[in-house]
Amino acid sequence: MTAFRLELRRCRSLALWLAVSLAVYGAVMGVMYPFLKSNDELMRQYMATFPKEFLAAFGMTGVLSDPGVFYTTYMSSWLWPIIATAAALLLGTRAVAADLDRGFLDLPLATPLSRARYLATNITAQVIVLAALATTAVLSIWLSAAATGNVFDLRGYALAGVLSFAFACALAGAATLLSVVTLSRGQASGIIGGAVFAMYAVFVVTQVSKDWAWLAPLSAWGHFRTTELIDQGVVPVGDLALFAAVAIGGWLAAVWAFRRRDLAA
């Protein structure tokens, strides 16, 4: 329990600043929603000046006054992936790679605390922080829009929060595993960052050219579809299961590998 409290204390600054960034941005966008809604026809004309494929790459598959398109365009298509990637990399690589580089890792491992419990404590903190950030992303927009008299479907937004959380956990699971394998925060972050960029590039290509649509399942964005989830209430069971499998698989593999990892290698 002492190790868990220490881990949460180490996370608080990062969690606070990322949460504040999401809350401020979400509140501003929620307040702007009535303006977009009242100028719906003008926004339609403006969006008509762009190619449909270009708009689809940014989640603009309908009108911006649509709650699902609104959330996807202004949160899940760009800001949340950036916040989730940053949090996953900083949290997922800290307990092993970063602490080893700082010379801090020897201290907790010199105590009766086992390696498995040490890393499991960090993973638990990751889950809590990522859940708090996903909740902030959804509620900041929902509450500020509700304050202006525009109440979105809470169930749809809650499901979007769950999917956002699962997306972030998948990144964190992979980052944690790579942190153990490489013992380098830089290498682990570079691999994850490169993979995220590559997946986004694949998603853009599949939206611009339907000839490459078969590549869509290879991109995380192909499984992170919040527009249909919010507007139609379609629960993406398969996508949630995929993100959960990557996250849990990465975390379990990291704990297993860390038990026997030679930290002097």
What tens digit of pLDDT does each residue of 154-175 get? 999 999 999 999 999 999 999 9
Question: How far apart are the C-alpha atoms of 35 and 149, rounded to whole Å?
Answer: 12
Residue 106 lies in a domain: yes
Question: What does the pLDDT average to over 239-265?
Answer: 93
Question: How far apart are the C-alpha atoms of 115 and 243, rounded to whole Å?
Answer: 25
Cα-based angle 21, 251, 217 (whole degrees, multiple of 5)? 75
Flag whether the pTM goes above 0.85.
yes
Question: How far apart are the C-alpha atoms of 197 and 113, rounded to whole Å?
Answer: 37
pLDDT at 46: 73
Residue 264 lies in a domain: no
Residue 30 lies in a domain: yes
Compute the Cα dihedral for 176, 180, 183, 188 and give only its sign.
negative
Residue 183 lies in a domain: yes
Residue 13 lies in a domain: yes
pLDDT at 242: 97
pLDDT at 235: 87
pLDDT tens digits, 120-153: 999 999 999 999 999 999 999 999 999 999 999 9
pLDDT tens digits, 179-225: 999 999 999 999 999 999 999 989 888 887 778 888 888 999 989 98
% of the chain beyond a pLDDT of 70: 96
Question: How far apart are the C-alpha atoms of 233 and 224, rounded to whole Å?
Answer: 14
pLDDT at 173: 98
One DSSP character per residue, 140-166 reads: HHHHHHHHTT----HHHHHHHHHHHHH
As for how many domains the chain has, the answer is 1
Residue 265 lies in a domain: no
Range of the domain at 141: 2-259
**Helix residue ranges per DSSP H, the chain:** 2-38, 40-47, 52-57, 67-71, 79-92, 99-102, 106-109, 115-147, 154-182, 185-208, 226-232, 237-259
Asked if residue 47 has pLDDT above 80, the reply is: no
